[in-house]
Amino acid sequence: MKVRLAYGRHGTEWNIPDKWHTDIIEPGWTPGKPDQTQAVIDALKAPEGSPPLRELARTDSTVGIIFSDITRATPYNVIMPALLSELDHIPEKNITLFCATGTHRACTDEELAGILGRKIAGRYRIVQNIADDGSGFDDIGRTASGNSVLINRDLLACDLKILTGFIEPHFFMGFSGGGKAVMPGMASLDTIRFNHSIAMLENENARWGITEGNPVWEDMMETVGMVSGTFLLNVTMNTDKEITGVFAGDLAEAHEKGCRFAQETCMAPVEEEYDIVITSNSGYPLDLNVYQTVKGMSAAARIVRQGGVIITASECRDGIPPCSDYEKILTSASNIDELYGYIKQHEKNLQDTWQVFSQIVIQRKADVYLYSDRLDDTAIRRVLLRPVKDPESLIGELARKNGPGARICVLPEGPQTIPYVLQ
């Protein structure tokens, strides 16, 4: 059996002998909207729980449009022109585009042009969130859980804040999109660090597809609720990156509707766990680095047996990545248990403990191999993963070890499909 995995821009194909029991779990197919641009415009004209966008945006309004960074595949080539067409009564000087980098590195000029299109990137003022620049944020309150809410000052100065992005299951926030554009997208490092703390992540509800009762999501929603003048524009997509649904208007109402739609198409039940789970990280741009690839591993971990194996295909053209303490944290310990003690002890002084914590949870359940033709074996081992150059041979070897009843599952699109074991 040949299986094609989303990998980089072009994919990779592996062969699994037919003698092994292999299941393929892919996202349910939903056709794209016949007229993608018009679907966005229609949603902006008839939003959920809100007046039309054109009515909200007065001629003298200052407008901030938050957009996703290079690690997200949001189709801004469709979204942004449609959105700006509904704001054509606003002077261009009154519109600022905000890149929701959260704690990620800033996008290059070339990447911004690729995300937005050169014409738009060259026409409007662009502000990128620099989470560790303490001077760029205003403190607007404290959440019930004790999080001090510091949000980008330039964004807060806008009369109308338009939150864009796409909705899919998220490995500890429940679902992406929604308020994530503001927190973590446009928040300070301290605010993000509190929300993404180990204490939050250890809660059993901080998982894929769960919002209500998820302390990470609830703290995020309370944080964003302190920001006035928000309007949501989110989409869902199929594996061809076509828009399948548009959800605009009131943040809570529109996002909830989008989450219900995403859950129907992106989450798949299985009868029992597998010995070996093969996954990707959905290809470019989601598999830019190892840091992002933890999401694909996390999807696989939901259905691998204790002591099983996860094999992840991720190009990682951006490395571990740079501009992050993720690699520094991982290289501070020689094994997973030691690593857990390290991040618990030093959490207040570290940036990316949430991704490391998620990796620890996964690796306490299964052995994790990484296939990448951009990283050498030393780099992969440095982040406590096992390198593999010949995945087909490894699959055969592992299947033989598990005997004739070996169960293998493949997630060709990685976290675009979130499997779960039926209880």
Q: Catalytic residue positions?
A: 104, 170
In this structure, the number of other CB atoms found within 10 A of the CB of residue 346 comes to: 12
What distance in Å separates the CA atoms of residue 378 and residue 365, rounded to the nearest whole number? 23
Q: Return the C-alpha torsion angle 201, 205, 207, 211, nearest 10.
A: -110
How many angstroms separate the CA atoms of 140 and 137, rounded? 9
Token pair in block for residue 133: 């620049």
Counting DSSP H helices and E strands in the chain, the numbers are 16, 20
Residues 6+ apart with CB under 8 A from 19: none
Q: What is the DSSP string of 129-195?
A: --TT-GGGEEEEEE-TT--EEEEEHHHHT-SEEEEEEE--EETTTEESSGGGGTTTTTB-HHHHHHH
User: Are the C-beta atoms of 209 and 263 separated by less than 8 Å?
Assistant: yes
Tokens of 224: 């964003």
Can you name the residues that pair with 96 across neighbouring β-strands? 64, 125
Q: Are 363 and 236 in contact (CB under 8 A)?
A: no
Burial letters 176-198, b for 16+ CB under 10 A, else e: bbbbbbbbbbbbbbbbbbbbbbe
